[in-house]
Amino acid sequence: MGKLGLDPVTVARARALAAEVGRPVVELARSHTTVSVERAVLRLAGVTGADPDGIPWVNRLVDAVAADVGLGHGVALPVFDALLREGLDDVTLLAQKAAAGSVRFAVPARAAASRRAALRQVRAGLRLVDRRRAERERLVRRLGDAPRRPWIYLIVATGDIFEDIPQAQAAARAGADVIAVIRSTGQSLLDYVPEGATREGFAGTYATRENFRLMRAALDETSRELGRYVRLTNYASGLCMPEMAVLAGLERLDMMLNDSMYGILFRDINPVRTFVDQRFSRQVHARAGIVINTGEDNYLTTADAVEAAHTVTVSQLLNEYFAHEAGLADWQLGLGHAFEIDPDLPESFRLELAHALLARELFPDAPLKWMPPTRHMTGDVFRGNLLDGFFNLVGALTGQGILLVGMMTEAVVTPWLSDRDIALQNVRYVLGAAGGLHEDFVPAPGGFIQRRAHEVLREAVALLGRIAEGSLLDAIADGTFGIMKRPADRGKGLDGVAAHEADYYNPATELLEAA
């Protein structure tokens, strides 16, 4: 029953409806592929590097295969058939030859040898992901973990990886447990992953494999210095979601932002493209032991946080269903929610408590990610610091798992190191003074907080029921989430989607699902 006295029958009904809504989307994902899924497969097979114009060889190779035989068969068999025909043992070299127009691709009539070669090469890539996961587990055992929950999650975003590194290390020394490197504005709409270290991002730093490697090495150094493992976060979203997931697994990132609908709603990426990419990326996260962070907080930056509270709950339930179907365990589900109610609204703090406690009780084994106030920050840094303190207190009262550090300069400037120090001071004080308060906090039976939580859950069940009468794609098109209307036949990246042919083959999916 928990602290809210939620009706277990209603909770079970909510999960059953989420599964009913989610199953057709999973079937859609299982019967389609995308250019980014196929590029992710080849990245696992070892394709690296970029041409002199900065276009990754993996893009060149997938484009060449698609031009000759389409995407519906998958790229693995045509690529490894060509590799065997050409007498090559380097997939990157094949990509270079394909870009020069000296290799043509076909779907082999007798595919056994090509299938074996593709499976062998992709298995080697997944074994590296497995080694990175084991490496993390050894480091956590040897160095120790954060001494408390919630983990303190702090963002760096200078645009220059070599500036991000000292800021991230300083944040860890000041108490941050998780460092998130924000992506450069617009990267989610690039249909390729830049190559190498980068120094020119806008409002964030490009997510590249080399940037991942550099930051992970720096935080490992700081972890040894501090005697606790410091986690690293980046993004698996946008048009290259599957590739980002693979690169994160190869370079031992610990968390990835990976929401089922964020790219659709807030970046106008085609819904079908997103859901196909999403399933594959989450299968990779499951294998890599990566904790995903979902993006329900974003809904409350466009929709009213009280009126739309139930849409957050619906999205959390759908994210849970899609995550479990892809193989993620509860400890990997950093489901999102946020402190975004207008502070001038009467009883705003009690409403925030009700919403946060509802999320905590619906998903008791998930490390929920609680997001700070942003929408109603005004530039008044004193008021902002107070709001962040109330946010931190709700996190303590409701036992959140991951607490993103709020900045009093939100919506004013990119934070300075001094801003982060003050914000971390706020978090440290609240968690030090009240970190165990969730053990004592029990809302009054039948009181305001319980009634509000029950109301939100009832509204969520009703909304899921209405969606189940149609489809999730229709609901997204109608503006159900975040008041954004995104039809399934529109949006960026639709031209990169292909239905499976009867002989479609993906060795990565075969290996991930077998595991």
| Active site members | 262, 297, 369
Q: How many CB atoms lie under 10 A from the CB of residue 202?
A: 12
Contact 287, 37 (CB under 8 A): no
Counting Cα atoms < 13 Å in the Cβ hemisphere of 236 gives: 35
Q: Residue 314 is encoded by which pair of tokens?
A: 């619906």
Give the residue among 333, 323, 396 at the shortest CA–CA distance from 369.
333
How far is 400 from 370, CA to CA, in rounded Å? 7
Q: How many CB atoms lie under 10 A from the CB of residue 98?
A: 24
How far is 265 from 479, CA to CA, in rounded Å? 9
Query: How far from the centroid of its chain's Cα atoms is residue 338's Cα?
Result: 16
Give the residue among 56, 10, 19, 245 at the shortest CA–CA distance from 132.
245
In SS3 terms, 368-396 reads as CEEECCCCCCCCCHHHHHHHHHHHHHHHH
How far is 46 from 94, CA to CA, in rounded Å? 11
Contact 120, 128 (CB under 8 A): no
Q: 3-class DSSP state for residue 46?
A: coil
Residue 263: is it exposed, middle or buried by C-beta count within 10 angstroms (0-12/13-18/19+)? buried
Counting Cα atoms < 13 Å in the Cβ hemisphere of 76 gives: 29
How far is 325 from 285, CA to CA, in rounded Å? 12
CA torsion 296→297→303→307, rounded to 10°? 80
- Residue type at 167? Q
77's CB contacts (< 8 A; 6+ apart) are 107, 108, 111, 114, 115, 118, 503, 505
**DSSP for residue 54:** S
Backbone angles phi, psi at 125, to 5 degrees: -65, -40
Which element (helix H / strand E) includes 113? helix 112-143
Q: How many CB atoms lie under 10 A from the CB of residue 178?
A: 28
